[in-house]
């Protein structure tokens, strides 16, 4: 036997470096555990059903005029509901293990915080994307069958309606879902109790959905933001970035006037930034090597 | 760092006359599994210690929980940490398990392997959506080994319920399953926080048998418990923790002899009581037990 471990209040993850294969196995095991947890928990099924009913029901309640009109119909709904769904899926992830005490057990295994958090995120992301994308894909597939020819005037003057626009919308919705899920992971890792998790998640959803845009509005009203600065600022807000990218790439240019949209480059950077930020906070908050 | 072979024993002068006998469960069951106590003496010290805790301090805010704690634990032995509620047992176990860094002092785990410490928390809990086998396989994947779930469960007597949901286990079975989890990856050190707390006498005895068997296989077992009957039955070393310090470290027989006590309960109370009043500090932190 050799002197393999000595601790004296040292910081940092205490496990030795493992080879890439082992880390990948652990990552996938954690991700699979999250997927299985989602599949076997009825409340997530109920959330999925509710989301599908709203997303499918709203357009079908009116006339479906084509792919681009469908994007315009759904964008606001998605902009609000996806963060709600992401926080519902993500908040009770790391927090579930913290709350039950199982995180302490997991910590005695050779797995780093980053691997644990990333695996948890991947698993939850698979579940979230399945729930978000399934009704959207269904709707997109149904457009040729339910389209009302008489109401296709919306796109006829600007561009040819195309499923490509809807596919872009679905892709952007995925990116938006992944971004807000990363923020939910941060909340999940920072909260120590179920009550704190619910409170933090509620606050975070309000900030994500309304708070950033409200800040931009204040900046606009006070003359701090305007022109290109406004477009950049909108890109730094998750819903602003999503909205800006949808308008820029998924509407075929039918919206040529109206409120200012986010700068597309700033929007991409903004979404990436929030993913990195959320996962970094989640990793640092999951546990402290010095004890929590 | 101490490297001596003698377990560090703190000052035991001024032993107070404590109250006699807390309700800590039955004394040794004559029919239950026991450690080898042919010599009725200190445990063998021919093996090098695998756990060396030296002058560890740990505080939570203004509350000092561990105040210069030192001890050693050797392979093949069961070291039992006993002491009043709030004496720092759980904190010390978490420090040894690597879950909590000491403010000062060192903890050495002189072992090798992918997973060096198996840990049973005071209140083991697992995701109820999974079966026992699935849970063990998950933990096996974290260690990078294919775990033989049935064999591990068989070790603690749960093989028959391998396909049962974790959420459907009784409290005692959950605790046994927690021990099974601690065995995944075959760690040479086991840290068990009250493995038989709240269990009926039969299950308590079964847990004791399992723990004794794990030590007999060469593992270093460190456990915290209030069940002094179990300690008498399976423990090689009793570590009496009081006010964040190890008051003494000795075999149950030596402890009884040195204190002139007939029961281990009385012997331990000599180190943990102050006058007629048991020293129980307020629990200003959530985790400590």
The verdict on residue B31 lying in a domain is no
Strand partners, A102: none
> Given B106, B127, B139, which is nearest A109 (Cβ)?
B139
> Given B109, B126, B142, which is nearest A110 (Cβ)?
B142
* Contact between B101 and A290 using a beta-carbon 8 Å cutoff: yes
Residues of chain B contacting A95 with CB distance shorter than 8 Å: none
* Contact between A105 and B121 using a beta-carbon 8 Å cutoff: yes
Tokens 């919206």 appear where?
A255
- The whole-model pTM stands at 0.84
Tokens 């938006």 appear where?
A176
Q: Please compute the mean of the pLDDT values over residues A23-39 and round it to a whole number.
A: 95
User: Is the separation of the CB atoms in B141 and B105 below 8 Å?
Assistant: no
Confidence (pLDDT) at A30: 97
The verdict on residue B13 lying in a domain is no
Confidence (pLDDT) at A145: 85
Confidence (pLDDT) at A270: 94
Min Cα–Cα distance to chain A from B124, Å: 7
Residue B253 sits in a domain whose CATH number is: 3.40.50.300
Confidence (pLDDT) at A117: 97
In DSSP notation, A95-122 reads HHHHHHTHHHHHHTSS--HHHHHHHHHH
Instruction: Annotate A66-89 with b (16+ C-beta within 10 A) or e (fewer).
Output: bbbbbbbbbbeebbebbbbbbbbb
Cα–Cα dist A151/A240, whole Å? 29
User: Which of B99, B137, B169 best probes binding to A when mutated, by most A CB atoms within 10 angstroms?
Assistant: B99
The verdict on residue B280 lying in a domain is no
User: Which of B55, B121, B144 best probes binding to A when mutated, by most A CB atoms within 10 angstroms?
Assistant: B144
The verdict on residue B139 lying in a domain is yes
Compare all CA atoms of chain B with the CA of A1 and give the residue at the minimum distance: B111
Min Cα–Cα distance to chain B from A138, Å: 29
How many domains would you assign to chain B?
A: 1
Confidence (pLDDT) at B8: 32
Strand partners, B240: B82, B248
The verdict on residue B11 lying in a domain is no
Min Cα–Cα distance to chain A from B214, Å: 18
Q: Which helix (H) or strand (E) holds B57?
A: strand B51-60
> A interface toward B at CB cutoff 8 Å?
1-11, 14, 18, 22, 25-26, 28-30, 32-33, 36-37, 40-41, 96, 100-102, 104-111, 289-291
pLDDT tens sequence for chain B (289 residues): 333 333 333 332 222 222 232 233 333 344 444 555 444 445 555 689 999 999 999 999 999 999 999 999 999 999 999 999 889 999 999 999 999 999 999 999 999 888 999 999 999 999 999 999 999 999 999 998 889 999 999 999 999 999 999 999 998 899 999 999 999 999 999 999 999 887 888 888 999 999 999 999 999 999 999 999 999 999 999 999 998 999 999 999 999 999 888 889 889 888 886 544 344 343 333 444 4
Confidence (pLDDT) at B279: 43
> Given B98, B139, B182, which is nearest A7 (Cβ)?
B98
The runs of H, that is alpha helices, within chain B are 89-96, 132-143, 149-156, 171-183, 201-216, 228-234, 252-259, 264-272
Q: Which helix (H) or strand (E) holds A187?
A: helix A163-190
Confidence (pLDDT) at A59: 87
Q: Which domain holds residue B139?
A: 51-275
Instruction: State whether residue A125 is helix, strand or coil.
Output: helix
Q: Please compute the mean of the pLDDT values over residues A45-67 and round it to a whole number.
A: 90
- Beta-carbon neighbour count of residue A257 at 10 Å? 4
> Of all residues in chain A, what percent carry a pLDDT higher than 70?
84
The verdict on residue B34 lying in a domain is no
Confidence (pLDDT) at B3: 36
User: Which of A11, A38, A291 best probes binding to B when mutated, by most B CB atoms within 10 angstroms?
Assistant: A291
Q: Please give the C-alpha separations between residue A47 and each of A53, A87, A132, in angstroms, as whole numbers.
A: 10, 11, 10
Min Cα–Cα distance to chain A from B185, Å: 9
Cα–Cα dist B75/B149, whole Å? 25
pLDDT tens, residue by residue, A180-198? 999 999 999 999 999 999 9
* Contact between A5 and B114 using a beta-carbon 8 Å cutoff: no
Q: Name the token pair of A224.
A: 């701090």
> Given B48, B116, B130, which is nearest A36 (Cβ)?
B130
User: Is the separation of the CB atoms in B93 and B222 below 8 Å?
Assistant: yes
The domain limits of chain A are: 20-286
The verdict on residue B187 lying in a domain is yes
């Amino acid at each position: 036997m050799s002197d393999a471990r000595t601790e004296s209040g040292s910081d940092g993850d205490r496990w030795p470096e493992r080879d890439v294969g082992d880390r990948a196995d652990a990552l996938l095991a954690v991700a699979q555990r999250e997927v299985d947890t989602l599949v076997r928990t009825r409340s997530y099924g109920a959330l999925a059903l509710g989301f599908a009913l709203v997303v499918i029901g709203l357009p079908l309640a009116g006339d479906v005029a084509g792919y681009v009109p469908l994007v315009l119909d759904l964008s606001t709904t998605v902009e609000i509901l996806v963060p709600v769904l992401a926080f519902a899926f993500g908040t009770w992830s790391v927090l579930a293990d913290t709350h039950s005490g199982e995180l302490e057990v997991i910590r005695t295994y050779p797995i780093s915080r980053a691997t644990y958090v990333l695996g948890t995120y991947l698993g939850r992301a698979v579940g979230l994307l399945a729930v978000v994308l399934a009704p959207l894909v269904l709707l997109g597939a149904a457009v040729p069958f339910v389209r009302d020819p008489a109401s296709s005037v919306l796109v006829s003057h600007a561009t040819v309606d195309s499923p490509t626009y809807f596919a872009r919308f679905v892709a952007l919705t995925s990116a938006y879902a992944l971004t807000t899920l990363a923020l939910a992971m941060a909340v999940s890792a920072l909260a120590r109790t179920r009550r704190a998790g619910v409170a933090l998640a509620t606050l975070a959803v309000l900030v994500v959905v309304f708070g950033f845009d409200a800040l931009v509005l204040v900046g606009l009203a006070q003359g701090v933001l305007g022109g290109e600065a406004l477009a950049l600022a909108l890109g730094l807000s998750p819903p602003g970035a999503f909205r800006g990218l949808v308008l820029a790439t998924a509407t075929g240019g039918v919206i040529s006037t109206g409120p200012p949209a986010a700068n597309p480059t700033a929007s991409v950077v903004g979404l990436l930034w929030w993913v990195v930020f959320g996962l970094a906070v989640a990793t640092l908050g999951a546990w402290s090597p010095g004890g929590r | 760092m101490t490297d001596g072979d003698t377990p560090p024993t703190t000052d035991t002068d001024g032993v107070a006359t404590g109250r006699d006998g807390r309700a800590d469960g039955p004394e040794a069951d004559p029919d239950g599994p026991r450690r080898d106590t042919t010599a009725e003496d200190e445990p063998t010290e021919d093996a090098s210690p695998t756990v060396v805790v030296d002058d560890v301090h740990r505080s939570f805010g203004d509350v000092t929980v561990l105040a210069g704690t030192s001890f050693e634990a050797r392979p093949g032995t069961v070291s039992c940490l006993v002491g009043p509620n709030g004496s720092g047992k759980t904190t010390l176990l978490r420090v040894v398990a690597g879950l909590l860094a000491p403010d000062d002092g060192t903890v050495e785990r002189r072992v090798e392997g992918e997973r060096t410490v198996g840990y049973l928390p005071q209140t083991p809990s697992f995701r109820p959506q999974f079966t026992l086998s699935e849970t063990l396989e998950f933990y096996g994947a974290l260690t990078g080994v294919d775990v033989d779930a049935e064999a591990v469960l068989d070790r603690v007597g749960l093989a028959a319920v391998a396909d049962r949901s974790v959420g459907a286990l009784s409290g005692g079975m959950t605790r046994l399953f927690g021990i099974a989890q601690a065995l995944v990856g075959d760690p040479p050190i086991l840290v068990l926080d009250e493995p038989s707390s709240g269990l009926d006498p039969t299950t308590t005895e079964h847990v004791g048998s399992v723990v004794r068997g794990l030590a007999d296989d060469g593992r270093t077992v460190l456990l915290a418990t209030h069940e002094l009957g179990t300690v008498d039955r399976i423990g090689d070393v009793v570590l009496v923790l009081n006010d964040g310090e190890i008051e003494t470290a000795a075999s149950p027989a030596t402890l009884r002899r040195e204190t002139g006590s007939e029961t281990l309960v009385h012997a331990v109370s000599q180190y943990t009581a102050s006058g007629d009043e048991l020293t129980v500090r307020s629990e200003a932190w959530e985790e400590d037990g």
